[in-house]
């Protein structure tokens, strides 16, 4: 066992040496890759979380491809599940981003297993690949108390056979019944169509509600729910910015519901609105991002200020539209 531990440590040192040799590319791109385990020591069959992270500047110019696994990292270490890539920005450095992906891993072979560095391709260029540090996973067997007597093996449980099991064993009956029902419905619709001609459909034109009226109604509803007063800060700021984004989309025809804060602010560079409205728009969106992504805990006055700024932005940019009914009357 001592010899095996030494071999594993030598392997890890070798991986670290290779990682240092390739660090020049990483520093050149100002990109850092890390790999961590929630626990470096587990019992056989137990799961632990493997987190892969990449930190870099300017999300629009850098594209990082995470390593892809089929079902194992190495033959002794299996991948049970994986999460989606999560993007987090640094509030102190607005252009610094962190991408994180989590894997649930396990092992059914006891021993010390060296996990090699993980490769991340930058901008789909093999020469710009970066590597994380290597890891070491210790898998222990279950302790056995040899002083206790051996217990008898329990008999298997009896399994009941339900109607659901019968349906699973006779799916052809289900499919035949569904097909028969579908044919009957088609015949009924066919007969009704030819026996009675439906009256012509009259399209009723619904008056268009101005964008600011919709925003006012939703803001009043959100205010009455007292979300931030009950500690539901993330829900409050998410709903508040959704109302604001919907208003921008209806008023200025900007796809704000699908854009980030930076993209929305960039889209207003050529739109003729006053600087005070732009400043209030920026305050609401940035504070909401801090609450949702950086777990910021704003003061009560800041929560109220965001609501006030949304009202002021709508008041300062609204366009009064004449109802359709009044035009028709003239």
Q: What is the pLDDT of residue 202?
A: 59
Same domain, 110 and 217: no
- First and final CA of the chain: distance in angstroms? 95
Greater pLDDT, 48 or 147: 48
Q: Which backbone phi and psi does 52 adopt, to 5 degrees?
A: -110, 130
Mean pLDDT of 211-223: 90
Would you say residue 241 lies in a domain? yes
Domain membership flag for residue 311? yes
284 touches 305 (CB < 8 A): no
Distance CA(108)–CA(139), nearest Å, equals 8
> In the prediction, which pLDDT does 117 show?
94
Domain check: are 131 and 261 in the same one? no
- Same domain, residue pair 31 and 134: yes
- Residue 9 CA, distance from chain mean position: 37
Q: Indicate the residue among 140, 161, 186 that finishes a domain.
A: 140
**Do 105 and 217 reside in the same domain of the chain?**
no
Mean per-residue pLDDT over the chain, rounded: 81
| Distance from C-alpha of 284 to C-alpha of 242, rounded to nearest angstrom | 11
Gap between the Cα atoms of 128 and 174, Å rounded: 56
Helices vs strands, H then E, count in the chain: 10, 12
DSSP symbols for 30-84: T-EEEEEES-SEEETT-EEEEEEEEEEE-TTT--EEPP--SSEEETTEEEEEEPP
Tell me: do 105 and 221 sit in the same domain: no
pLDDT at 26 over 60: no
CATH code of the domain containing 110 = 2.60.40.10
Asked if residue 220 and residue 119 are part of one domain, the reply reads no
Q: What is the pLDDT of residues 259-275, one digit of tens each?
A: 898 888 888 888 888 88
Contacts of 93 (CB under 8 A, 6+ apart): 57
133 shares its domain with 246: no
Q: pLDDT grade, residue 324 (50/70/90)? A: very low
Cα 290 to Cα 30, 272, 293: the distances in Å are 24, 28, 6
Q: 170 versus 103: which is more confidently predicted?
A: 103
Let me know whether 129 and 218 are in one domain. Answer: no
How buried is residue 111: exposed, middle or buried, by Cβ count under 10 Å (0-12/13-18/19+)?
Answer: middle
251, 210 Cβ separation under 8 angstroms: no
> Of 116, 140, 164, which residue sits at a domain end?
140
pLDDT score for 316 = 87
Its domain, for residue 263, covers 211-317
Q: Which domain-ending residue is among 88, 120, 140?
A: 140
Q: How far is CA 28 from the centre of its chain?
A: 30
Return d(Cα 185, Cα 180) in angstroms, integer: 9
3-state secondary structure of 144: coil
* Among the listed residues 58, 108, 122, 118, the one whose alpha carbon sits nearest the alpha carbon of residue 82: 118
Q: Which neighbouring-strand residues pair with 47?
A: 106
Residue 218 has pLDDT above 50, yes or no: yes
Task: Please indicate, yes or no, if residue 203 is contained in any of the structural domains.
Answer: no
94: its two tokens: 């607005």
Average pLDDT over residues 110-138: 87
When pLDDT is averaged across residues 168-183 and rounded to a whole number, the result is: 87
- Cross-sheet strand order for the sheet of 119-122: 64-65, 119-122, 125-131
Q: Are 137 and 12 in contact (CB under 8 A)?
A: no
**Backbone phi, then psi, for 201, in 5-degree steps?**
-80, 130
Whether the per-residue pLDDT at 21 is higher than 50: the answer is no
Phi-psi region of 127 (alpha: psi -120 to 50; beta: other; left: phi over 0): alpha
Whether 94 is covered by a domain: the verdict is yes
Higher pLDDT, 201 or 124: 124
Q: Are strands 64-65 and 41-43 parallel, antiparallel or unpaired?
A: unpaired
In a domain, 168, yes or no: no
Which of residues 317 and 60 earns the better pLDDT score?
317
pLDDT tens digits for range 237-256: 899 899 989 998 888 888 88
In a domain, 277, yes or no: yes
Residues 12 and 101 in one domain: yes
Extract the tokens encoding 122: 């930058």
| Exposure on the CB side of residue 52, measured as CA atoms within 13 A | 25
Asked if residue 305 is part of any domain, the answer here is: yes
Q: Where are the alpha helices (DSSP H) in 46-86?
A: none
Any bridge partners for residue 90, and if so which? 93
Co-location of 12 and 136 in the same domain: yes
Average pLDDT estimate for 191-200: 67
Query: Is 317 in contact with 251 (CB distance < 8 Å)?
Result: yes
- Does residue 49 lie within any of the structural domains? yes
Number of domains in the chain: 2
- Cβ atoms of 316 and 273 within 8 Å: the answer is yes
């Amino acid at each position: 066992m001592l010899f095996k531990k030494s071999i594993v440590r030598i392997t890890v040192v070798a991986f670290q040496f290779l990682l240092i040799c390739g660090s020049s590319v990483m520093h050149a791109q100002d990109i850092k890759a890390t790999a961590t385990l929630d626990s470096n020591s587990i019992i056989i069959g137990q799961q632990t979380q493997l987190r892969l992270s990449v930190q870099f500047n300017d999300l629009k110019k850098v594209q990082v491809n995470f390593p892809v696994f089929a079902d194992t990292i190495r033959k002794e270490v299996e991948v049970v599940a994986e999460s989606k890539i999560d993007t987090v920005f640094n509030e102190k450095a607005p252009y610094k981003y962190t991408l994180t992906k989590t894997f649930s891993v396990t092992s059914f072979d006891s021993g010390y297993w060296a996990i090699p560095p993980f490769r991340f391709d930058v901008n789909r260029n093999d020469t710009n690949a970066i590597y994380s540090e290597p890891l070491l996973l210790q898998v222990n067997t279950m302790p056995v108390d040899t002083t206790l007597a051996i217990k008898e093996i329990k008999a298997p449980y009896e399994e009941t056979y339900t109607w659901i099991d019968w349906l699973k064993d006779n799916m052809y009956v289900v499919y035949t019944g569904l097909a028969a029902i579908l044919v009957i419905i088609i015949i009924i619709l066919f007969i009704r169509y030819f026996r009675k001609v439906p009256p012509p459909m009259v399209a009723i034109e619904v008056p268009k509600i101005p964008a600011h009226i919709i925003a006012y109604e939703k803001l009043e509803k959100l205010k009455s729910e007292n979300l931030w007063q009950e500690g539901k800060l993330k829900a409050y700021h998410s709903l508040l910015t959704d109302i604001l984004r919907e208003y921008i989309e209806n008023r200025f025809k900007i796809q704000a519901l699908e854009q980030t804060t930076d993209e929305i602010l960039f889209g207003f560079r050529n739109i003729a609105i006053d600087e005070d409205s732009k400043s209030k728009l920026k305050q609401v969106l940035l504070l909401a991002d801090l609450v949702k992504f950086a777990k910021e805990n704003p003061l009560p006055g800041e929560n109220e200020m965001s609501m006030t700024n949304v009202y002021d932005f709508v008041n300062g940019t609204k366009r009064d539209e004449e109802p359709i009914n009044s035009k028709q009357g003239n």
